[in-house]
Structure 1
Amino acid sequence: MASSVSIRFNSFARSAHQFLKQWSPNSTSSSCVLVSSCQHYSTGSPKPKTGILMLNMGGPEKEADVQSFLTRLFLDRDLMQLPAQQVLGPRIAQRRTPKIQEQYSKIGGGSPIKRWTETQGRGMVKLLDQISPETAPHKFYVGFRYVHPLTEEAIEEMESDGIERGVAFTQYPQYSCSTTGSSINAFYRHYAKRGQPSNIVWSCIDRWPTHPGLVQAFVECIQSELVKFPDDVRDEVVILFSAHSLPLKVVNRGDPYPAEVGATVNRVMEALNYSNQYRLVWQSKVGPLPWLGPPTDSAIEGLAAKGKKNILLVPIAFTSDHIETLYELDLEYAEELGEKHNLNIRRAPAMNDSPTFIKAQADLVKSHLQSNRACSKQLLLRCPMCVNNTCGQAKQFFSDQQPLLDTQRQQGEVDKAMGAQATA
């Protein structure tokens, strides 16, 4: 493990009692300046106990934010590795900005992902305060990779709030090194650079592709759109589960993403009793290198050539609307390809403010807190052909939280017992 992180852990290698009692509501940190766009919500307590950091890519809220969003994206070496990336990345971002701005102009001028994440977060912590009072009060934080509020800014907000128990909660149900992995690596790098002891004990929800609540939410979204097809063709509708594609060179290193997306699809179709024909397809390919296939648009055209006229698109790897649902699926595929080939193409709604989905989030966090596990076993396994050393260091960061979690729980049990004796 990197020496900077070793120093961090050594700096609070004191007795468990001292570590847990050191928290002070007045502790502050000035290593990161927080922007005003960091909006977080709690259930009324000025001192939240448990903080849930909702990790995602993010999206520009307005067209003026597109270039900075793209610049951060093309500089992310966890997502892609380019020659002379510090120079080439910003140039690519600048060149692509007008085209992407035009796309955002057609879906209202910006991405709604922050709004939907906040909606989900508010509902989640409200439920958590009810179903998990022992870990309340809860507060959610939004941590994006490429737009404000950035992951690093959200972490500093949690530090300033005096959070005791932090949960890094990926909003990607299926793990990929390019998405959740990138967020976790950014998380690790921030603490390695910060170089200050933290009073937060961290854990991570790093994947949840087959969670029953997630599956049920997808089923409800699919059924709500299937009923809009005419009765006489409903059973003939082909369901295309569309997920963001990955370069094959990433997949061939051992990235678990394709398998986990497939696991979600299988559970959803099982819950639907395999009512319709279906396929898993892949969207959003960029560049000339080979990616996962078949591409969503090619699959639609292939089905049209074989006489299929009714298609339901399901965004199976996204938990809220953003440009890939509102522009790519709705406009490029459902509208343009539908008109070109005389097809009836509909798109299942994204989760957004689905009560079933928000309850699934709350249930997932509650179960995770009760388990007292720092992360899943899968997170600790690096891809067989991994070439990114930061991945191993980030995974070790969460592994090293386990003894702190155990100590925190033991101290909580002691405090609870002492409180019971005092009131007896």
Structure 2
Amino acid sequence: MALRNPLATLTKRATQSQIARHTASTQQQPWQTRRKMATIVPPVTQDSTSSKGPTAMVFMNMGGPSTTDEVGGFLSRLFADGDLIPLGRLQPYLGPLISARRTPKIKKQYAEIGGGSPIRKWSEYQSSEMCNILDRISPETAPHKPYVAFRYANPLTEHMYEQLLADGFGRGRGGRAVAFTQYPQYSCSTTGSSLNELWKWRQRLETKRAGGEVDEAGAIKWSVIDRWPTHPGLIEAFAQNIEAKLAEYPPERRDNVVLLYSAHSLPMSVVNRGDPYPAEVAATVYAVQQRLGSKNPYRLVWQSQVGPSAWLGAQTSDTVEHYVSRGQDDLILIPIAFTSDHIETLYEVDKEIIVEAEAKGAKGVKRAESLNGSPVFIEGLAQLAKSHLDSGVACSKQMGLRCPGCTSQRCLESKKFFVQQEALL
């Protein structure tokens, strides 16, 4: 019951009817057109290191190719990242080989979902709308300027950082920026990799390594929202989308629909190192189930495995196949670790898993809508960001704790940097 009370404000400001109207309007347009929904925000000039604003709000995510022409570069960067896909000392050789072999196949998949990933469109929309709310509820840190930094696709982290500098942050002028991870559950492979990349470019662009007269005292002051697996806004947004999908089943079948919470899997080598991701995803699932009243049976499953090594299971596709073979046709797939649609939902779930189930006669397999433009979700992002800005804390206590089996020097230095930023806020 503890999760219900904080949601009263959220549900008053963003009712289910608002969500229904938004969903209806966006479903009528192709995602390339809907990308124009993002509010245009003029550049902010930072000329004071003592004021609380302006504040840069940087949404960090994996990203995805916006066009099929970007697929090759996206895969090349993805398979070069040892934090995400650890290939050991052979990474510089195996990474390019794997990405080159997979590019034609992945291009076809992106072509089937509209010619590219909608994740940039949704990230820009979510960050822009969140900043509009923040300007209203947190005027002392306003104006809030939205930025998007992707790990493997445009806009890349280095391009975002260069834009920050061009907009008047840093380079002796100070200013504050918040790295807001859009992976609600922390993993060294996702949030950790993105923050390591951010730290790398900070070192290159705002220390003596950058050359010239660099005033490190006037560098950007960073803080991090590094995880938020049970935030009330996140939980309520998921729950409302699940309830909407459950309503499509006849009343006599509704309580027996199995909820399959599907998250991106991890290599077992990462899990066994002590990565917190599986536990944090499970925390999200449990919180959603509590909000729903635990009326339906459920399982947590894992998708998007790559390569022959062992990955965290059970696999989403195998789970659906097993249940369907046993006569359990009423299943709802819930993308529990994603904040918007992308290839894993639009192709892997919709066009592979669900289509294969339907071919076997299972007509009750559905997917809950992704968070995308949910007003409840965006309001939740703003409330979370305001709490962070008010706290004076640079990052969570968990952020400073390394995995028991971690041997990465870069990870160590990155964590130390963000933890030490608290003294500068």
Once the two structures are superposed, what CA deviation does each residue of 1:265-293 show, in whole Å capped at 9, x if it has no partner?
00000000001110000001111111111
Q: 1:228 and 2:248 equivalent?
A: yes
Which amino acid is the alignment partner of residue 66 of structure 2?
E
In the TM superposition, 1:31-110 aligns within 5 A as 43=41, 46-47=44-45, 49-82=54-87, 83-110=89-116
Higher mean Cα deviation, 191-200 or 74-83? 191-200
Once the two structures are superposed, what CA deviation does each residue of 1:236-286 show, in whole Å capped at 9, x if it has no partner?
110000000011110010000000000000000000000111000000111
Describe the SS at the equivalent of 1:143.
strand
Describe the SS at the equivalent of 1:51.
strand
Question: 1:336/1:325 Cα in 2 relative to 1: closer, same or farther (>3 Å)?
Answer: same
Q: What is the CA–CA distance in structure 2 between the aligned matches of 1:149 and 1:336, rounded to whole Å? A: 35
Describe the SS at the equivalent of 1:254.
coil
Once the two structures are superposed, what CA deviation does each residue of 1:331-356 show, in whole Å capped at 9, x if it has no partner?
11112223224241110000110000
Once the two structures are superposed, what CA deviation does each residue of 1:121-141 show, in whole Å capped at 9, x if it has no partner?
111000000000000000010
Once the two structures are superposed, what CA deviation does each residue of 1:150-186 show, in whole Å capped at 9, x if it has no partner?
1121122112222311000000000000000000000
* Aligned position for 2:124: 118
* Aligned position for 1:420: none
* Aligned position for 1:350: 370
* Aligned position for 1:16: none
| Aligned residue among 144, 149, 165 for 1:138 | 144
Describe the SS at the equivalent of 1:255.
coil
Q: What is the CA–CA distance in structure 2 between the aligned matches of 1:390 and 1:291, rounded to whole Å? A: 24
Which amino acid is the alignment partner of residue 158 of structure 1?
L
| Aligned residue among 168, 176, 180 for 1:165 | 176
* Aligned position for 1:258: 278
Q: What is the CA–CA distance in structure 2 between the aligned matches of 1:117 and 1:229, rounded to whole Å? A: 31
Q: 1:184 and 2:195 equivalent?
A: yes
Q: Name stretches of at least 5 consecutive residues in structure 1 with no aligned partner.
A: 1-38, 406-424
Q: 1:301 and 2:321 equivalent?
A: yes
Matched-pair identity in % = 53
Question: 1:120/1:404 Cα in 2 relative to 1: closer, same or farther (>3 Å)?
Answer: same
Q: What is the CA–CA distance in structure 1 between the aligned matches of 2:386 and 2:43, rounded to whole Å? A: 19
User: Offset at 1:47?
Assistant: 2.9
User: Larger C-alpha radius of gyration, 1 or 2?
Assistant: 1
Per the normalisation by structure 2, the TM-score is 0.84
Q: What is the CA–CA distance in structure 1 between the aligned matches of 2:311 and 2:363, rounded to whole Å? A: 26
Which amino acid is the alignment partner of residue 118 of structure 1?
E
In the TM superposition, 1:318-397 aligns within 5 A as 318-397=338-417
Describe the SS at the equivalent of 1:384.
coil
**Contact kept? 1:319, 1:351, Cα under 8 Å:** yes
* Aligned position for 1:419: none
Once the two structures are superposed, what CA deviation does each residue of 1:16-38 show, in whole Å capped at 9, x if it has no partner?
xxxxxxxxxxxxxxxxxxxxxxx
User: Offset at 1:372?
Assistant: 0.8
User: Offset at 1:400?
Assistant: 1.5
**Contact kept? 2:229, 2:284, Cα under 8 Å:** yes
Q: Name stretches of at least 5 consecutive residues in structure 2 with no aligned partner.
A: 1-36, 47-53, 170-174, 208-213
**Contact kept? 1:304, 1:343, Cα under 8 Å:** no
Describe the SS at the equivalent of 1:125.
helix
* Aligned position for 1:152: 158
Which amino acid is the alignment partner of residue 375 of structure 1?
C
* Aligned position for 2:230: 210
Q: What is the CA–CA distance in structure 2 between the aligned matches of 1:144 and 1:281, rounded to whole Å? A: 26
Describe the SS at the equivalent of 1:383.
coil
Which amino acid is the alignment partner of residue 398 of structure 1?
F
